[in-house]
Amino acid sequence: MPVPLPPIFPAAQQPAAQTTAQPAPEQQQQGQHDAPKLTPGEFTAWLQSKGAAPEQAAAAAAEREAAIKAGAVPLEQLTGRELHTHHPEVFEGY
């Protein structure tokens, strides 16, 4: 049986507009509250945006790699891994 979630607002701090739509206190204690509903279009949009995140991250990484190779990023702004890859002379003698 799932664990009931606490209400978002404690009873004393609920906004006035939402007090009429709240379920009875005994229903909240049993975990029977109204969950927000997504339309099929909203769900599809969420899935598409979730799938686009890895592509955007890969594009940003490729841009940074190109900027490093072009010398547009100062050494002070490179991470250790980037320094080791592109400027191994920094680590000579260690």
Look at residue 75 in the predicted model and tell me its pLDDT.
92
Is 13 a member of any domain? Answer: no
Confidence of residue 94 (pLDDT cuts 50, 70, 90): confident
CB 23 within 8 A of CB 4: no
CB 33 within 8 A of CB 23: yes
For residue range 3-18, list pLDDT tens digits in order: 777 777 666 655 555 5
Look at residue 81 in the predicted model and tell me its pLDDT.
95
Is 65 a member of any domain? Answer: yes
Residue 19, Cβ density class (10 Å: 0-12 exposed, 13-18 middle, ≥19 buried): exposed
Tell me which residue range forms the domain holding 90. 51-94
For residue range 15-67, list pLDDT tens digits in order: 555 555 555 555 555 666 777 888 999 999 988 888 888 889 999 999 999 99
Is 15 a member of any domain? Answer: no
Look at residue 21 in the predicted model and tell me its pLDDT.
58
User: Number of folded domains in the chain?
Assistant: 1
Write the CA distances from 22 to 3, 27, 63, integer angstroms. Answer: 19, 10, 50
